[in-house]
Amino acid sequence: MSKINIPETYKPHLDLIETEVAIKMIKDTFERRLAEQLRLTRVSAPLFLLKNTGLNDNLNGIEKPVSFTSFELNHDDEIEIIHSLAKWKRDALYRYHFERHTGLYTDMNAIRKDEELDNIHSMYVDQWDWEMVISKEDRHLEYFKAIVSKIYNALLDVEFLMIRHYPQLGESILPDEIYFITSQELEDMYPDCTPKQREKAITKAKKAVCILQIGDVLASGQKHDDRAPDYDDWKLNGDILVYNQVLDDALEISSMGIRVDKEALVEQLTKSQVTERLELPYHQNIIQDVLPLSIGGGIGQSRLCMFFLRKAHIGEVQASLWDEETLKICQEKGVHIL
């Protein structure tokens, strides 16, 4: 059974060519605003990495990367298509010698073969990955929230631009300021709901939300969501969600955080029972204070386009592969898949 849901009243506001032009406008504008807000420099990024470096992001620890070997390299060197660049970026900050409160951003393209496909999930992932050098004094929640607010200002600029160019998109959805709440406060507010139900409830009420401190066990004994133990500090991270008016649901557009220092790394690897990772080169570089302290995250390009263009399916703003049932439903509902 297909997991997609196209509302009966849904009708695209833009045709195929208008959509492609608008996608370019969104990406160009947001990328420029993000770089200005955070003092970031664009760099080139890899599509694949050697597995034994420990630089690939293993996401929630369950999803397996696409992998292969090369005749030009040692046959024992397994190569992985990246899941994200969370760890690579921090290593790149060190190699590029970025100074405090400056950093990098890049276009990240990935394949997540284990992704469950639906309205907002695709095997093809495109996002802006960014990372910035910080100091020990910056490692607190108020600094993290200040960076979130700068990113949110860039989102406000793009929404204003899109509505001005395409008034048929309707009125703005985003409020002037983003609402912050911890995952524990959210559980306390909606104790009888699942994490996804809580996200929908708070995002529908506030329209733009940053849920803080994701990854550790809550008072209920459950986690709000899984997070890899070796890049975000679970006490200093968060997800940005906006209200998807078309689907009447929360839409996560960014996961970000202040990265682990050596104390947080050891603590979280111990909690996750994967302390063997401490022997990997990347993890040793954190333990030995080789890599700079940093903050960073990923911002979904297609999800942003989906939100700003009021689209019902992510396939309307990116070219990927879909099952036949999804394609059939979209054709019947007048949804144009790229």
CATH of the domain at 34: 3.30.930.10
In a domain, 271, yes or no: yes
Q: Give the mean model confidence (pLDDT) for residues 69-90.
A: 77
pLDDT digits (tens, 9 = 90+) for 148-189: 999 999 999 999 999 999 999 999 999 999 999 999 999 999
Catalytic entry in 33, 90, 112, 139: 112
User: By C-alpha distance, which of 85, 44, 45, 51 is closest to 65?
Assistant: 51
3-state SS, the chain, equals CCCCCCCCCCCCCCCHHHHHHHHHHHHHHHHHHHHHHHCEEECCCCCEEEHHHCCCCCCCCCCCCCEECCCCCCCCCCEEECCCCHHHHHHHHHHHCCCCCCEEEEEEEEECCCCCCCCCCCCEEEEEEEEEECCHHHCCHHHHHHHHHHHHHHHHHHHHHHHHHCHHHCCCCCCCCCEEEEHHHHHHHCCCCCHHHHHHHHHHHHCEEEEECCCCECCCCCECCCCCCCCEEEEEEEEEEEEECCCCEEEEEEEEEEECCHHHHHHHHHHCCCHHHHHCHHHHHHHCCCCCCEEEEEEEHHHHHHHHCCCCCHHHCCCCCCCHHHHHHHHHCCCCCC
- Looking at this protein, which amino acid is placed at residue 82? I
Q: Is 127 a catalytic residue?
A: yes
* pLDDT value of position 55: 64
Among 60-64, 248-252, 256-260, where is mean pLDDT lowest?
60-64
- For 144-158, write each residue's pLDDT tens digit: 999 999 999 999 999
Residue at 48: amino acid letter: F
CB burial string 251-285: b at 16+ within 10 A, e below = bbbbbbbbbbbeebbbbbbeebeeeebbebebbeb
Q: Read off the pLDDT band of 81 (50, 70, 90).
A: confident
Overall residue count recorded for the chain in this entry: 338
Domain annotation covers residue 253 = yes
Residue 116 inside a domain? The answer is: yes
- Which amino acid, one-letter code, is at 278? L
Catalytic residue flag (residue 112): yes
Q: Hunting for tokens 């689209």 — which residue is that?
A: 311
In a domain, 167, yes or no: yes
User: Does the annotation mark 252 as catalytic?
Assistant: yes
Q: Give pLDDT tens digits for 183-232.
A: 999 999 999 999 999 999 999 999 999 999 999 999 999 999 988 898 89
**Of 31, 91, 131, 252, catalytic:** 252
**What gap in Å lies between CA 146 and CA 266, rounded to an integer?**
27
Asked, for residue 143, whether it belongs to a domain, the answer is yes
285 part of a folded domain: yes
How confident is the model at residue 245, as a pLDDT? 93
User: Of 159, 239, 261, 316, which one is the catalytic site residue?
Assistant: 239
What six digits make up the tokens of 74?
Answer: 């040692």
The pLDDT assigned to 287 comes to 94
Among residues 84, 122, 127, 320, the one annotated as catalytic is 127
C-alpha span between 104 and 35 (Å, rounded)? 8
Measured between alpha carbons, how far is residue 280 from residues 80, 92, 169, 217, 283 in Å? 16, 17, 49, 26, 5
The domain total for the chain is 1
pLDDT reported for residue 115: 77
Cβ burial 53-69 (10 Å sphere, 16+ → b, else e): ebbbbbbeeeeebbeee
Which tops the pLDDT comparison, 113 or 131? 131
Q: Which of 31, 57, 91, 316 is catalytic?
A: 57
5 is a domain residue: no
Asked, for residue 8, whether it belongs to a domain, the answer is no
Q: Which domain holds residue 282?
A: 16-332
Beta strands 232-244 and 249-259: pairing type? antiparallel
What number is the average pLDDT over the span 305-330?
90
The alpha-carbon radius of gyration of the chain (Å, integer) is 20
Note the pLDDT of residue 151. 97
Region 222-243: mean pLDDT is: 93
Whether 215 and 249 have beta carbons less than 8 Å apart is answered as: no
Q: Which of 84, 254, 255, 318 is catalytic?
A: 255
- For residue 23, what pLDDT band results from cuts at 50, 70 and 90? very high
Tokens describing residue 111: 């394949």
What are the φ/ψ torsions at residue 65 (nearest 5 degrees)? -75, 155
